[in-house]
Structure 1
């Protein structure tokens, strides 16, 4: 009735082989964590491999911009959510995938805005768009001098580590592109002027957002 022969006991992997395969998988995951994830996401480079590959600089930039944005952000009135530890956040990002599907809310009508802000030396400011999950926005911005920037989103009443970064950089005089909101909330730009003179930033946005939040 069946054309496929069942494997014999001798053909099945032994407990020793299974343990060996499990150990190899754990060592491989740990190696990726130490050599790639830690340098690229957190600027931590225990092995020294990340810096020649440019991963450590990427992680340091992410952490610097996140810290600057957090320092300039007004704390929400609501009680913040539970804190997550660094190892927990790393392993959650590596091994946990959300299985819950969410239905996006209706997007706002498309609109266009132009905003100009002036950054004093070492000053940081944000301009955000109020967007629904799945809404899209295109943008272009120019600066009269080099600035550090972080394009990111935050859900309502965010807890610690709740922000999502779409794109970031430093020493830039302008960017253009498009992004899709991954959750309901505010999505936009944080700029920091690290030069010794005032810098003006002009932002043009078009998309499905309810309002623009200026400084």
Structure 2
């Protein structure tokens, strides 16, 4: 290590070198990454300028959304909707299939009974073999694992237009979701607010669709803000299920 001469000239020279290094970091890296400002062109080569532009765009959209939410009238209370006949019929079919599963499991021989089972008869001729019927267990499992969506909404966004949909959730609740731009692509911000807290879970640019789980970090409203940055209208469709009190949509 080389010590700095304890003189006025040495201290001034060290200060100028440190200021020059900080200015280079500020110009070459920090301004492009944070604000999309790239006076030297290095940010464009490293991808930092694009990252800064995305940050600035998403921050502007989130600020516009917050201002719109502050002046928007309160949402009306949710209305109770009666279950559709097709949903009731589907539930009845699932109950019947579960009963069939219980019956099949209940009649299977235990290991102790296998010793007394009579020998099998000779295999019938190929022309006498009846076609196998579908396994009721496999059919019931296939239908039971299909997603059960509670709510579904669709909105058509004109170029430059944005929209927000949120779920009222308690801390720790888990909601399932799937949204698609139906062949297009949108910018999105998955975030939450409530009780003086604000949190951005994920942001994206020009995304065609997304599916997953939303785990509420705190009690409040958690959901999505989409904006259409393309030159043509885009229809966004959202399906949700799982744990939440209600959907808050325009």
TM-score, L = length of structure 2: 0.50
Unaligned runs of 5+ in 2: 1-21, 72-147
CA contact 1:40–1:59 (8 Å) conserved in 2: yes
CA–CA distance in structure 2, aligned partners of residues 156 and 41 of structure 1: 29
**Residue of structure 2 in register with 1:147 after alignment:** 186
Count of aligned pairs: 159
Structure with greater strand share of residues: 1
Unaligned runs of 5+ in 1: 1-29, 78-109
Please tell me the root mean square deviation across aligned C-alpha atoms, in Å.
3.8
Distance of aligned partners of 1:47 and 1:191 in 2 relative to their CA distance in 1, 3 Å threshold: same
CA–CA distance in structure 1, aligned partners of residues 33 and 193 of structure 2: 21
**Residue of structure 1 in register with 2:173 after alignment:** 135
For residue 209 of structure 1, give the secondary structure of its aligned residue in structure 2. Answer: coil
2:243 counterpart of 1:204: no
Q: How does 1:25-174 map to 2 (within 5 A)?
A: 52-73=45-66, 74-76=68-70, 112-144=150-182, 145-156=184-195, 163-174=198-209
Q: Which has the larger radius of gyration?
A: 2
CA contact 2:33–2:49 (8 Å) conserved in 1: yes
| Structure with higher RCO (Cα < 8 A, 6+ apart) | 1
Please list the CA deviations of residues 139-193 of structure 1 after superposition, one character each: whole Å capped at 9, or x if unmatched: 11111322111111112456xxxx3211111112111122311122111111111
